[in-house]
Amino acid sequence: MPCKSDERSAWRCEFPILDQEVNGKPLVYLDSAASSQKPRVVLDTMDFYYRMDNANVHRGVHALGQRSTEAYDNARAVVAKHLNAVHTDEIVFTKGCTEAVNLVAASWGQANLKPGDVVLCSMAEHHANLVPWQLAAEKTGATVKPVPIHDDGQLDWDAYLALLNENPVKMVAIKHVCNTLGTVYPVKEVVSEAHRVGALVTVDGAQAVPHRPVDVQDIGADFYILAGHKAFGPMGVGALYGRLPLLRAMPPYQGGGDMIRTVSFDGTTFREPPNRFEAGTPNVAGVVGLAAALEWLASQDFDRIEVHEQDLLASATEALEEIPGVRVLGKSPGKASVISFVTDFAHPHDIATILDSEGVAVRAGHHCCMPLMGRLRVPATVRASFAMYNDNKDKEVLIQAVAKARRIFS
Amino acid sequence: MLEELYRETILDHGRKPRNSGHLEAATHKADGWNPLCGDQIRLFLIVQDDTITDIKFEGCGCAISQASTSLMTETVKGMKVVDALALFEKFHAMVVDGTVDELDGLECLAGVREFPARIKCATLGWHALRSALAGEEAASTE
Ligand SMILES: Cc1ncc(COP(=O)(O)O)c(C=O)c1O
């Protein structure tokens, strides 16, 4: 459904939450990298599920139980198709990206990491794709080593190759798109180099899925993770893609109902993936909402989204840099529409408070990337992240609000 | 409301924190750390005869945490330890519950209570003070 207004983003009217005032000003939501807003179809689908279909899955013989199970299983097929997985069974539902990495690090890590093995994590990694590896390393005697990045956020390719050649690397953990700087990492090349030395790769796709089509077969990823709430779906749900032979060889992550074949005090047997990794009643409404979000996203013209977001990125970056004292970090070519900046007149938290008073929602802080902050030698940044529902009007309010912050603090 | 938060005194202390620096001869010290936003301070005190005879701090953070810590050092310097701890309670009550309105020149920070996300910035230095006086090395606003 096209929007009525020519001045606003063509996608905006599908996101009801955007049409409100905060602090007496129209809301300008520039925090989609922390959590995106949801289109009406996602809200309606989840509402419909709870009003009409709600029942536990994989249990009941009654009609609602069957409808619920059907919706749940269908959602798995939607996610598999969205990522171009070979098999539907390669998709495991989790409560988010964080749980997906914890699952891989605990289950695959426990079965495969040995003392002396090395896990490589880029210095830009979100804590979600770093800390679980540190925990796994602690348990198994493996070591986690950082892969350095350049000042603009890009991977230090020579250092990466050297690390691969000089260490017994078993796993590489890397983001597809950086939540702090927007950097797009060459994950396909990262995977092919890792595979050359026999290492696997866990790609954190949290920030990629909302901005671009993803093809896990083309990337060659062994594991690929996403979060519903970053991709216009609900919170509390995410997905792990894992190549089927890998998932089949992995031990359970959590125990409980639904993941077992037979249970007795003499010994319990487990189901095949993905069920083996989905203990207990899942977040069915969340999963159904996630599928609705991905179907909605797949029905959009990604080329148009890309042009729209890149226009906003370029003009917002330029306008911010015209404000004296503002420094935009990590301007690598081809990056996604995420802008991190610092200023010489105010701390990021003070700027975020001023922006909020103008109705502008941004994030200030370390963005769960403390090693990256250390690498960039800043304690924190202000991050404005643009989704397809943002537009020039949002950008202009942002720029005026940053200029106001400068007037207050200088 | 924004004017209530960023009053001139606060902007001034934020830009030019008083008592900033290091105390070699500190008898008490503590690190204050706000995990939410990364604000970090290190507080040094010299306590003699139950009195805070000198106090300094170093670190980085937002205008609110810097100004609040700066104002705190000015206020408690020369104070009895018991009085400083009592002031901690009053300050906390002012910014968290809004129950105190007059406070030795610290009332300029009362506006913080309208900004829940920023309260911990205002209390960081005070938490560090309490930890230092209790002989703990670290304080977190968590
Ligand atoms: C790149 C990246 N990875 C992982 C995560 C963690 O996602 P979640 O908190 O939904 O598990 C986030 C979001 O904070 C992210 O931006």
CATH number of the domain at A403, please. 3.90.1150.10
Mean pLDDT, to the nearest integer, of A263-274?
Answer: 95
Q: How many domains does the structure of chain A reveal?
A: 2
Q: In this predicted structure, what is the pLDDT of residue A60?
A: 76
Whether B64 has a pLDDT exceeding 90, the answer reads yes
Cβ–Cβ gap A349/B1 under 8 Å: no
Cβ–Cβ gap B5/A353 under 8 Å: yes
Rounded to 5 degrees, φ, ψ at A327 are -125, 120
User: Which H or E element spans position A80?
Assistant: helix A63-83
Residue A38 placed within a domain: no
Whether A3 has a pLDDT exceeding 70, the answer reads no
End-of-domain residue from the set A276, A298, A320? A298
Helix (H, G, I), strand (E, B) or coil at B67: helix
Residues A404 and A327 in one domain: yes
Interface of chain B against chain A, CB under 8 Å? 1-2, 5-6, 11, 14-15, 36-40, 60-64, 115, 117-118, 121
Cβ–Cβ gap A357/B11 under 8 Å: no
Contact B134, B38 (CB under 8 A): no
Domains, chain B, in order of start with CATH, read: 2-134 (3.90.1010.10)
Separation of alpha carbons A36 and A191, rounded Å: 28
Contact A229, A358 (CB under 8 A): no
pLDDT band at A4 (very low <50, low <70, confident <90, very high): low
Helix (H, G, I), strand (E, B) or coil at A294: helix
Whether A173 has a pLDDT exceeding 70, the answer reads yes
End-to-end CA distance of chain A: 46
Residue A291 placed within a domain: yes
Count Cα atoms within 13 angstroms, Cβ side, for A185.
Answer: 37
Residue A402 placed within a domain: yes
Cβ count near A211 (within 10 Å): 27
Whether B110 has a pLDDT exceeding 80, the answer reads yes
Separation of alpha carbons A341 and A252, rounded Å: 42
Separation of alpha carbons A239 and A246, rounded Å: 16
Count Cα atoms within 13 angstroms, Cβ side, for B53.
Answer: 9
For a pLDDT cut of 70, what percent of chain A falls above it?
99
Q: Which of B1, B15, B121 sits opposite A349 (nearest CB)?
A: B121
CATH number of the domain at A122, please. 3.40.640.10
Helix (H, G, I), strand (E, B) or coil at A258: coil
Query: CB-based contacts of A19: which residues, under 8 Å, 6+ apart?
Result: A27
Structure tokens at B36: 């939410």
Contact A305, A388 (CB under 8 A): yes
Per-residue b or e along A62-74, where b marks 16 or more CB atoms closer than 10 Å to that residue's CB = eeebebbbebbee
In this structure, which amino acid lies at residue A290? L
DSSP letter for each residue of B81-103: HHHHHHHHHHHHIIIII------
Ligand 1 pocket test, candidate residues A35, A36, A95, A98, most atoms within 8 A of CB: A98
A374 is in which domain, residue-wise?
12-30+301-409
Whether B3 has a pLDDT exceeding 90, the answer reads no
Contact A180, A372 (CB under 8 A): yes
What does the DSSP 8-state code read for residue A160?
Answer: H
Residues A103 and A168 in one domain: yes
Residue nearest to atom 14 of ligand 1 (CA): A34
Asked if the C-beta of A22 comes within 8 angstroms of chain B's C-beta atoms, the answer is no
Contact A147, A190 (CB under 8 A): no
A34 Cα–ligand 1 center, Å: 8
Higher confidence at residue B59 or residue A162? A162
Q: Which residue of A has its CA nearest to B12?
A: A409
The distance from CA A58 to its chain's CA centroid, rounded to whole angstroms, is 28
Residues A330 and A388 in one domain: yes
Mean pLDDT, to the nearest integer, of B122-139?
Answer: 90
Separation of alpha carbons A269 and A25, rounded Å: 58
Contact A337, A208 (CB under 8 A): no
Rounded to 5 degrees, φ, ψ at A63 are -60, -45
- What is the average pLDDT score of chain B? 91
Residues A92 and A119 in one domain: yes
Q: In this predicted structure, what is the pLDDT of residue B88?
A: 94
The distance from CA A402 to its chain's CA centroid, rounded to whole angstroms, is 27
Rounded to 5 degrees, φ, ψ at B71 are -65, -40
Cis peptide before A348 (omega within 30 of 0): no
Contact A164, A199 (CB under 8 A): yes
End-of-domain residue from the set A298, A328, A350? A298
Query: For ligand 1, is residue A204 a contact (CB within 6 Å)?
Result: yes
Residues A103 and A231 in one domain: yes
Mean pLDDT, to the nearest integer, of A113-125?
Answer: 98
Cβ count near B29 (within 10 Å): 18
Q: From residue A395, how far is each of A319, A360, A391 by CA, in Å?
A: 9, 10, 6
Residues A326 and A292 in one domain: no
Cβ–Cβ gap A379/B60 under 8 Å: yes
Complex ipTM > 0.95 = no
Mean pLDDT, to the nearest integer, of A67-77?
Answer: 97
* pLDDT, tens digit, 9 for 90 and up, residues A284-332: 999 999 999 999 999 999 999 999 999 999 999 999 999 999 999 999 9
Residues A166 and A215 in one domain: yes
* pLDDT, tens digit, 9 for 90 and up, residues A183-205: 999 999 999 999 999 999 999 99
Query: CB-based contacts of A154: which residues, under 8 Å, 6+ apart?
Result: A183, A185, A332
pLDDT band at A1 (very low <50, low <70, confident <90, very high): very low
Separation of alpha carbons A339 and A328, rounded Å: 7
Q: What are the CB-based long-range contacts (under 8 Å, 24+) for B77-86? A: B77/B19, B77/B52, B77/B53, B78/B51, B78/B52, B78/B53, B79/B51, B79/B52, B80/B50, B80/B51, B80/B52, B81/B47, B81/B50, B81/B51, B81/B52, B81/B133, B82/B50, B84/B52, B84/B129, B84/B133, B85/B130, B85/B133
Q: In this predicted structure, what is the pLDDT of residue A90?
A: 98
- State the Cα angle at B75 between B88 and B20, rounded to 5°: 105
Contact B130, B20 (CB under 8 A): no
Whether B17 has a pLDDT exceeding 80, the answer reads yes
Residues A243 and A331 in one domain: no
Q: Which residue of B has its CA nearest to A358?
A: B2
* pLDDT, tens digit, 9 for 90 and up, residues A79-91: 999 999 999 999 9
Mean pLDDT, to the nearest integer, of A217-240?
Answer: 98
Cβ–Cβ gap A349/B5 under 8 Å: no
Contact A36, A232 (CB under 8 A): yes
- State the Cα angle at A299 between A294 and A300, rounded to 5°: 100
Residues A397 and A315 in one domain: yes
Query: Across the strands, what pairs with A120?
Result: A145, A172
pLDDT band at A50 (very low <50, low <70, confident <90, very high): very high
Residue A265 placed within a domain: yes
Residues A71 and A210 in one domain: yes
Whether A213 has a pLDDT exceeding 50, the answer reads yes
Residues from chain A that touch B37, judged by Cβ atoms under 8 A, are 348-349, 364-365, 380
Contact A122, A164 (CB under 8 A): no
Count Cα atoms within 13 angstroms, Cβ side, for A82.
Answer: 33
Q: Tell me the pTM.
A: 0.94
Query: CB-based contacts of A288: which residues, under 8 Å, 6+ apart?
Result: A45, A46, A49, A71, A72, A75
* pLDDT, tens digit, 9 for 90 and up, residues A229-264: 999 999 999 999 999 999 999 999 999 999 999 999
Q: In this predicted structure, what is the pLDDT of residue A5?
A: 67
End-of-domain residue from the set A298, A324, A347? A298
User: Which H or E element spans position B51?
Assistant: strand B51-60
Whether B87 has a pLDDT exceeding 80, the answer reads yes
Asked if the C-beta of A348 comes within 8 angstroms of chain B's C-beta atoms, the answer is yes
Whether A2 has a pLDDT exceeding 80, the answer reads no
Residues of A recognised as catalytic: 368
Residues A347 and A239 in one domain: no
Residues A201 and A283 in one domain: yes
- What is the average pLDDT score of chain A? 96
